[in-house]
Amino acid sequence: MSGTSTGLMPPADAVTPVRHPEAPAPGELLGAHYGQCFGCGGGQPHGLQLEARAGDGVSVTAEFTVRPAHQGAPGLAHGGVLATALDETLGSLNWLLRVVSVTGRLETDFLLPVPVDTVLYLEAEVTAVAGRKIYSTATGRIGGPDGPVAVRADAVFIEVKVDHFIENGRPAEIRAAMNDPDQIRRVRAFEVNP
């Protein structure tokens, strides 16, 4: 069972998460946060190209189809790729809170093997917020949106400023991102709606 690490326990002063009033409507596709993202970007041929949609409250759903490039054992998804799918789905909760955050801790359970060509049906929600710490949980089901849970995770994301990326990213990619009007628009959505 996951979620047992002390770092994953919300503190006593944690509060219930609040959906941002300008968050995308339930059912709306969220789109990639960065075109070169391995998890959601369209510019990565071997990436997951995960598509997430806003859910109710502070939740999202997403789908990811396991392809041959994602194998670990013959015909089976690599565990790290499945953890990436969970991480990316949890990261897309940023759009519901309108807060930029990065993964601090991700604890994953692998419950069933996931064959190539399987569609992984993911769901994630924020469970608590304490200062900059955002507590969240996710599941990935196979065989359909109501099928058995194959993977699950609990996480703590830490709120950061956009400067986190500008200061730490490789200059060439940062320059390219800053020259991309679509990227600037996505970042602004966070900056002008604190």
Ligand X SMILES: CCCCC/C=C\C/C=C\C/C=C\C/C=C\CCCC(=O)SCCNC(=O)CCNC(=O)[C@H](O)C(C)(C)COP(=O)(O)OP(=O)(O)OC[C@H]1O[C@@H](n2cnc3c(N)ncnc32)[C@H](O)[C@@H]1OP(=O)(O)O
Could you list the residues that contact ligand X (CB under 6 A)? Answer: 7, 33-34, 39, 87-88, 91, 94, 100, 102-105, 131-133, 156, 158, 160, 162, 165-166, 174, 177-178, 186-187, 190
Query: At CA 104, angle to CA 103 and CA 109, rounded to 5?
Result: 80
Q: Which is nearer to ligand X, 83 or 112 (CB)?
A: 83
Q: Smallest distance from the beta carbon of 169 to ligand X, in angstroms? A: 7
Q: Which is nearer to ligand X, 69 or 162 (CB)?
A: 162
C-beta separation of 94 from 31 below 8 A: no
Q: Smallest distance from the beta carbon of 144 to ligand X, in angstroms? A: 25
DSSP 72: S
Q: Give the relative orientation of helices 171-178 and 181-191 as an angle to the nearest 10 degrees.
A: 90
For 103, other C-beta atoms within 10 Å of its C-beta total: 16
Q: Which residue is nearest to ligand X (CB)?
A: 91
Q: Which is nearer to ligand X, 115 or 161 (CB)?
A: 161
Q: Which is nearer to ligand X, 117 or 173 (CB)?
A: 173
Q: Smallest distance from the beta carbon of 157 to ligand X, in angstroms? A: 7
Using CA atoms, how far apart are residues 193 and 183, in angstroms rounded to an integer?
16
Q: Smallest distance from the beta carbon of 108 to ligand X, in angstroms? A: 13
Where would I find the H helices in the chain? 79-91, 94-97, 163-168, 171-178, 181-191
